[in-house]
């Protein structure tokens, strides 16, 4: 379940990345949402950046927690 949560959050982080803002503006151009995004560009960039970074951090934690089930046990080596 953690793996699925992590993949979903990576997808959200990819869509919310501020570098995709020109694509979002082109797709939403002519709509009310597009007009609001274009009028408030700086707050939108800050908000999308925060959402993107937060989603990536949570996704990496979820993917790391999900991968612990599939790891082989570590060999215990003697220290000299």
Segment 38-51, tens digit of pLDDT: 899 999 999 999 99
pLDDT in tens, 9-20: 999 999 989 898
Six token digits for residue 73? 């046990």
pLDDT at residue 54 in the model: 94
**Count of residues for the chain?**
80
Per-domain residue ranges of the chain = 2-70
Helix, strand, coil percent values for the chain (each to nearest 5): 80, 0, 20
Q: Mean pLDDT across the stretch 13-39?
A: 89
Q: Mean pLDDT across the stretch 62-66?
A: 80
Six token digits for residue 33? 């949402």
Residue 77 scores a pLDDT above 90? no
Confidence of residue 29 (pLDDT cuts 50, 70, 90): confident
């Amino acid at each position: 379940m953690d793996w699925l949560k992590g993949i979903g959050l990576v997808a959200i982080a990819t869509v919310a990345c501020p570098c995709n803002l020109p694509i979002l503006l082109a797709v939403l151009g002519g709509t009310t949402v597009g007009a609001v995004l274009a009028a408030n560009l700086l707050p939108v960039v800050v908000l999308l950046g925060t959402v993107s970074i937060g989603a990536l951090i949570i996704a990496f934690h979820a993917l790391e927690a999900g991968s612990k089930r599939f790891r082989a046990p570590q060999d215990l080596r003697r220290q000299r």
